[in-house]
DNA sequence: CATGAATGAGCATTCATTCAT
DNA sequence: GATGAATGAATGCTCATTCAT
């Protein structure tokens, strides 16, 4: 998308750029996850790539660029995943269930990326942080819209939709940030079921059933 | 507690050690938060302290020690804060309300420390990570006990108490990790009220009121 | 030889490596001799080289490596010098004279290296010390073989060939270790003549002439 | 002796000075031998002493002073040992035998000190090196006198007495510098016997017997 | 006379980045 | 477009030495 443009390159062939950057992202993600951004030297990354350190600098212009590239990759995956969500039929309960579980699945599939970004986001300059955060906000917006819809139709109770949306998104992230301990007693599927149930009970008015 | 002993010192006066370390923790916390652990040099920290770089090394024996000192500080504050929680009267609902809101307050007061530890925990060696994580687990345990109590007395519905306890703890952390955006539309007090309400709705059986 | 391999390099051109290392050895030898290994900082060495401190680290991976490089240089020179010694004709007396004087010449030419290694060998880790010491033992072995040969043929008297060989080697080293005082009253040539004479008198049976 | 004066102290009581310095020398010698002068920190030394680091500086004024103190200790021991040597009767052969074997015994007893000084002498400033070297020269002088005596009386052949004296002294040192390998195949007693024999054969005219 | 605390100067090493070829 | 070599600027840490009490 637009962001891709933001990273400067001296290379003319855009396909080559895309290919090389994909290699870089792949290698970097693994290394950043294993040892963290700072302990990973740009030399380490280059050595694991099929090209040279100086060549690497032809496709990125700084180490920080690489982290942003990784972030972009995650954002694209998320966007793709959420786009597939049916824009939510007319039933807010079903729409919420669907969006939440789908988002949990995405988080699960990319739990390492998610964790990485929580840890290293601050390394990016403010404007790039914004890009990532906005992408995150997009998800919250999806939840918020569904909740507002539910409130309007009386299926959900009167509550702070924005806060509830944030809570939902954050609880999905919990699987990424705490999976090391959670997976000792729940599977991802049970996690999704339990949390969906829990969240919906918080959303509906007392006495109602969904 | 016992951990304090773990950090070596060449200084004999324990009061002086405590005082200097408090200064170090204070300075370091701010710098780590602003620029992250790795971008903060030990020189930077020393320059913001009323003593010399070499002197700093009389109170800590490595940069990593400083991070652990910050972690210890948070753990102690948390422990102190939670100890004050009445061991939960016989009413699980009140006990939960009390524990959760109190924990949120602690998180709020130390939101920067909390955020810092989420970001930089991996810098610590495995055994020190364990110490921090165990301290975190202690909080979850408090929640779990209350929930189990509620389930036993029929005030709460049958659910995975462990997962619910983790969710509660994690939602409290949300205030620390997302406060930059949350505080734009909720105060800490409303946050606590809303989340308490939300969580309790998830805990009680349908149709019940608390 | 094989040892050369032991020192890691990021540089691919082996000729360049050899050339730069030669420069390093040259500079380092002088500085180590003047101020000792420990008082010589790696910065000092780099400043006397036609390249940068960071560049230096592309050819060596530690300060200790430099000392080992110096040691290797001496070992190679010694090996080259001794290889030229005719494997000793059938006359043990001539063979000894030849080997001893040739070795003295080598020691003389590299007296600074020899002295340096006596002083700083302990800096090297045990395994590298072994390499150097074994190289030294090779010389002693040459002397021992000649002496044993002499004893067998009756040209030399019955004596502890091993000890005598050590004495010969050590007396050659004397020129390196004590040259500051010896050269005030003997030249290297007279030193060799006198010591050869002295040693041979100790080797032959009483009454014999060589 | 006079040198003792050379090391400044702020302490008035000379006995205390002597006692403390003896402790320092004792501790330092062991540490210098085990890890070398440079790897031994003055803090290490102080910690092994029954007094404080700052106190240590009341008896010595620099780390180098300590090394000189160790050197002085060895010089005194040597002087004491050699003084006991009968000033050599009228028989040069016996005198030489006696002096050489006695010196070897001293070297043997203090082989570690001897080795230490060979390694670390350069650390001392030139004038202090001179003091140590002169003390060494004193031994050579003893040998030289005996040899000159032998030449004059015709017991020894015409040779460079100074060089021979140096060789004798140096061969004694060999036991200290190479004992790690020598002791694998000779005892100190056999070493002395063999070397005495060897040296005397070099000293006497051909055909003579002693 | 003793000592606890402090510090200035330095040291080996690393790393993101650039440039000549 | 690719790459080998080079480097400026830091960084974490140590240590001999001093001084106030």
CB–CB contact A163 B194 (8 Å): yes
Helix (H, G, I), strand (E, B) or coil at D85: coil
Question: How confident is the model over D90-139, as pLDDT tens digits?
Answer: 899 999 999 999 999 999 999 999 999 999 999 999 999 999 999 999 99
Nearest CA in chain A to B32: A122
The nucleotide whose C1' lies nearest the CA of B56 is E6
CB–CB contact C163 D186 (8 Å): yes
Checking if the pLDDT of B3 tops 60, the result is no
Tell me whether chains D and C touch (3+ CB pairs under 8 A): yes
CB–CB contact A206 B202 (8 Å): no
The nucleotide whose C1' lies nearest the CA of C42 is E12
Select the residue of A162, A186, A207 nearest B160 (Cβ to Cβ). A186
CB–CB contact C171 D166 (8 Å): no
DSSP D123: G
Nearest CA in chain C to D167: C171
> Does D126 lie at the interface with C, CB-CB under 8 angstroms?
no
> Does B202 lie at the interface with A, CB-CB under 8 angstroms?
yes
Checking if the pLDDT of D29 tops 60, the result is yes
In this structure, what is the dihedral angle of CA atoms B139, B144, B149, B152, given to the nearest 10 degrees? Answer: 180
Select the residue of B163, B195, B198 nearest A194 (Cβ to Cβ). B163
**C83 beta carbon to strand E: under 7 Å:** no
CB–CB contact D171 C166 (8 Å): no
What pLDDT score does C3 carry?
43
> Does A163 lie at the interface with B, CB-CB under 8 angstroms?
yes
**A63 beta carbon to strand E: under 7 Å:** yes
Select the residue of A119, A191, A195 nearest B119 (Cβ to Cβ). A119
**Contact, A147 vs A203, CB < 8 A?**
yes
Sign of CA dihedral A154, A155, A157, A160: negative
Checking if the pLDDT of A148 tops 60, the result is yes
Measured to protein CB atoms, the chain E nucleotides within 7 Å are 1-20
Give the relative orientation of helices C63-84 and C111-120 as an angle to the nearest 10 degrees. 130
What pLDDT score does A82 carry?
81
Q: How far is the CA of D9 from the C1' of E1 (A)?
A: 12
Contacts of D185 in chain C (CB under 8 A): 160, 162-163
What pLDDT score does A139 carry?
93
Question: How confident is the model over D79-102, as pLDDT tens digits?
Answer: 888 877 656 678 999 999 999 999
Select the residue of D178, D201, D202 nearest C170 (Cβ to Cβ). D178
Percent of chain D at pLDDT exceeding 90: 82
Percent of chain A at pLDDT exceeding 70: 95
Nearest CA in chain D to C175: D167
CB–CB contact D201 C199 (8 Å): no
φ/ψ of residue C33, rounded to 5: -70, -40
What pLDDT score does B90 carry?
81
What pLDDT score does B83 carry?
80
Checking if the pLDDT of B43 tops 90, the result is yes
> Does C48 lie at the interface with D, CB-CB under 8 angstroms?
no
What pLDDT score does D42 carry?
97
Interface size between C and D, measured as CB pairs under 8 A: 92
Select the residue of D170, D178, D185 nearest C171 (Cβ to Cβ). D170
What pLDDT score does C181 carry?
95
DSSP D84: T
B18 alpha-carbon distance from chain centroid: 20
Q: Which of A4-8, A27-31, B134-138, D188-192 has the lowest mean pLDDT?
A: A4-8
Q: How far is A18 from chain B (nearest CA, A)?
A: 30
What pLDDT score does B146 carry?
95
The mean pLDDT of chain B is: 92
**A54 beta carbon to strand E: under 7 Å:** yes
CB–CB contact D201 C202 (8 Å): yes
Measured to protein CB atoms, the chain F nucleotides within 7 Å are 1-20
The nucleotide whose C1' lies nearest the CA of B55 is E6
Question: How confident is the model over B150-181, as pLDDT tens digits?
Answer: 999 999 999 999 999 999 999 999 999 999 99
Residue with minimal CA–C1' distance to E6 is B55
Sign of CA dihedral D5, D7, D10, D14: negative
**Contact, D29 vs D114, CB < 8 A?**
no
DSSP readout, B121-182? GGGS-HHHHHHHHHHHHHHHHHHHHHHHHHHHTTSS-S--HHHHHHHHHHHHHHHHHHHHHH
> Does A178 lie at the interface with B, CB-CB under 8 angstroms?
yes
**Contact, C188 vs C175, CB < 8 A?**
yes
> Does C138 lie at the interface with D, CB-CB under 8 angstroms?
no
Shortest CA distance to A108 belongs to which of A179, A169, A26?
Answer: A179
Arithmetic mean of pLDDT, A53-70? 97
Checking if the pLDDT of D207 tops 80, the result is no
What pLDDT score does A111 carry?
94
Nearest CA in chain A to B182: A163
The mean pLDDT of chain D is: 91
What pLDDT score does B149 carry?
95
Tell me the C-alpha to C-alpha distance, in Å, between residue C171 and each of B35, C103, C166, D174: 64, 11, 8, 9
Q: Which of D40, D156, D166, D188 to mutate to test the interface with C (most CBs of C within 10 A)?
A: D166
CB–CB contact C166 D182 (8 Å): yes
CB–CB contact C36 D181 (8 Å): no
E strand or H helix at A196? helix A188-203
> Does B192 lie at the interface with A, CB-CB under 8 angstroms?
no
pLDDT in tens, chain C (210 residues): 444 458 999 999 999 999 999 999 999 999 999 999 999 999 999 999 999 999 999 999 999 999 999 999 999 988 888 887 656 678 999 999 999 999 999 999 999 999 999 999 999 999 999 999 999 999 999 999 999 999 999 999 999 999 999 999 999 999 999 999 999 999 999 999 999 999 999 999 977 766
Contacts of B178 in chain A (CB under 8 A): 166, 170
Instruction: Assign B88 a pLDDT band (cuts: 50, 70, 90).
Output: low
Q: How far is the CA of D8 from the C1' of E4 (A)?
A: 24
Nearest CA in chain C to D172: C167
Question: How confident is the model over B104-161, as pLDDT tens digits?
Answer: 999 999 999 999 999 999 999 999 999 999 999 999 999 999 999 999 999 999 999 9
What pLDDT score does C1 carry?
43
């Amino acid at each position: 998308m637009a962001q891709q443009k933001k990273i400067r390159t001296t290379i003319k062939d855009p396909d080559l750029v895309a290919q090389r950057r994909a290699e870089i992202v792949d290698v970097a993600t693994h290394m950043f996850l294993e040892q963290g951004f700072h302990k990973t030297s740009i030399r380490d990354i280059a050595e694991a790539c099929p090209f040279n350190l100086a060549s690497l600098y032809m496709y990125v212009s700084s180490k920080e660029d690489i982290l942003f590239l990784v972030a972009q990759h995650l954002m694209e995956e998320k966007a793709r995943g959420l786009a597939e969500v049916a824009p939510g039929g007319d039933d807010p309960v079903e729409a919420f269930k669907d969006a939440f579980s789908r988002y949990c699945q995405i988080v699960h599939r990319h739990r390492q990326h998610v964790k990485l970004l929580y840890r290293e986001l601050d390394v990016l300059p403010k404007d790039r942080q914004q890009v990532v955060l906005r992408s995150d906000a997009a998800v919250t917006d999806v939840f918020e819209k569904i909740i507002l819809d539910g409130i309007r139709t009386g299926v959900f109770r009167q509550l702070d939709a924005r806060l509830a949306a944030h809570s939902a998104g954050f609880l999905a992230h919990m699987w990424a940030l705490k999976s090391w301990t959670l997976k000792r007693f729940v599977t991802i599927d049970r996690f999704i079921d339990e949390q969906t149930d829990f969240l919906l009970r918080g959303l509906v008015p007392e006495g109602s059933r969904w």
